Structure 1
Amino acid sequence: MKNNYEGLPVAKNEILTAAFEDLTSEGLGVAKVDGYPLFVVDGLPGETATIKVTKLGKSYGFARIVERLTTSEDRIPTTDVLGTRVGTMPLQHMRYSAQLAFKQNMVVQDLKRIAKLPNIKVHETIGMSNPWGYRNKAQIPVRGKDGKLVTGFFRKGTHELIPMENFHIQDPKIDEAIIKVRDILQEYGIKPYDERKNIGNIRHIMVRRGYYTGEMMIVLVTRTAKLF
């Protein structure tokens, strides 16, 4: 097999066994082959897996898990696999206390590498009693499917919309509002935006909800100044 770049220790579509050493800032597991990092969705430090290389770059590549061989003690059941596919919940498979420690370490490493401040004390991340349904703002894309308006989120790294109605990390009232607004737009025959043809109208539904008041602000992001 040939590499896209000469001198790389792995090739595209190669299947190998690797150990995850770290996480990226986006929550991807990091496995290294002769110092060359491969970023893998759903990999946790301390785990080993059979992986398949999917994409190569000069400095790093990407792979996917074929079979998990060992399991981290920080791994927990996934709430919704769609949240992993679109990247809205990239660490949902990781114990919350471990997530907090990961975020603390991210700040420590950024201070060392970027700010050149290695001796700054970084306190433990303050968590929540319930780390779900906490976001009070959402901007959700709208597209068309089978003649209907569909709301959801783009598959990570693409513009392919995956239909979703429960985002889990947003205030549930926001999820409900998005569905109601989408259905009203459908009732009035509003056309969804098609970015390939640059036609249609409604692009996003944005909702913000006041934590204390419960009041909502709804914004429609459109291609044109008028809906009709």
Structure 2
Amino acid sequence: MDKQLLIFDFDGTLIDSVPDLADATNAMLTTLGKNSYPIDTIRNWVGNGSRMLVERALVGKIEVLDGELTKEDVDHAEQVFFDAYSNMGGSKTIAYPDVDGGLKKLQAAGFKLALVTNKPIRFVPKILQFFGWQDLFSEVLGGDSLSVKKPDPAPLLHVCEALDVTPAQAIMIGDSRNDILAGQNANMDTLGLSYGYNYGQDIRELNPTETFDDFAALVAYILKD
């Protein structure tokens, strides 16, 4: 495999952060005097960044129509959410099986690793530190690091340029349509993981280069070549 750079999504790919995100979402809704939701409902709202999660929670559904919410209402709710999420401490966030060892194997094999998430960048370093991954990734971008986020290809292309790697030498690895579309839009191979958050859609429907049901199988695939 003539690849040098592996670009990973974060939530739903390397970590399961939904329990903490759900707690923060429901804390926000409670503060705003609204009804809370079960974790399985909130799981389907995760993946497009914090603002979209907040908007979906405010209207109680995945599709938010134009005019349903004012910018002021969303700005206020998002700040309440940020405060709540900061107070969660990440205590319920876990790494998926084989991710820790798998990332270290890939780095040891000579691959450059990068992280491109739609999570606000302010929350990323603390989580990386918690898992001891702060030195694994050569580049880390959050959803607000640039003016656009996945599925726009710009964050992926930014990482390639920063690390002096062509898109053809890179792979985008993720669990949702945003990851696969971003990789396809950047003209790079994409590897899908079926266990994350993809709004109830099978990741295979987006035609990634390959799809895996667990991280260990993905690592084995990358290393076999």
**Which TM-score band applies after superposition, normalised by the shorter structure?**
under 0.3
- Which structure is larger by alpha-carbon Rg, 1 or 2? 1
Structure with greater helix percent:
2
Structure with greater strand percent:
1
TM-score if structure 1 supplies the norm length? 0.24
TM-score if structure 2 supplies the norm length? 0.25
